[in-house]
Structure 1
């Protein structure tokens, strides 16, 4: 992991560029969910303690939920499962509650 460029801004710009260029809801959902998964993977390797990084993760988690809601119901399940893993791991870092609230707000909370 030494000398790796960790840039939230570059990752978010790539998603923004995709949205402007193509903007397909399934592609946006994939990129946003992948971003969240990658953030959790990085935390697993590095154990970063950076509030800005966590805030960016939670904001992108919400963007992923917005993209998923725009999909047909039969397209949503796999993305929701992947975000559920992110949310579950988020509890290990103290950010799961924020993600819980977002999941409930977007109607994906388990009954």
Structure 2
């Protein structure tokens, strides 16, 4: 808390404060607020499109973000593991369907190897993040009903094979995770 110039204590606004103000809005005011939020950012648009199942591919903006930050078309653009992973986190907040989470985690791994097919990377943190995402992808896939797993597992098997050609112990770690998951 901080003191204002009048000597009263000010607090940082919280969700409770916002919720109380929302309760005062009529329907038209609430719709107007959501419209303003929609117009404020592409992230808000993607969130609302996903939440309300609008459009033909709700994963498209999240995949585009992953590609932008892990496998950019222009190799001179910076990579950002954190921003690519945030796309998955954003999807989870918007809808979080298990199959969508599996798709995005597997896609992330595939995009890393698509990037590595043309460029080298000498950053241990990049590979640690890849290993964590592979583990997350396995977890998401194995949480799906058995009938839905096969296509994802086939793609992860390809990712695992590609990992054998990377240093930093990636291939060995992929194999360990695969075996720990009871696959093979």
Classify the TM-score, shorter chain: over 0.9
Aligned pair 1:59/2:156, yes or no? no
- How do residues 12-91 of structure 1 correspond to structure 2 at under 5 angstroms? 12-91=85-164
Answer with 1 or 2: which has the greater Rg: 2
- How far apart are the structure 2 equivalents of 1:48 and 1:71? 33
TM (normalized to structure 2)? 0.57
5+ residue gaps, structure 1, are: none
Pick from 153, 161, 171: which aligns with 1:96? 171
Q: CA deviation at 1:3?
A: 2.2
TM (normalized to structure 1)? 0.93
Larger relative contact order, structure 1 or 2 (CA cutoff 8 Å, min sep 6): 1
- How far apart are the structure 2 equivalents of 1:15 and 1:2? 22
5+ residue gaps, structure 2, are: 1-73
Number of aligned residue pairs: give it. 109
Greater share of residues in helix: 1
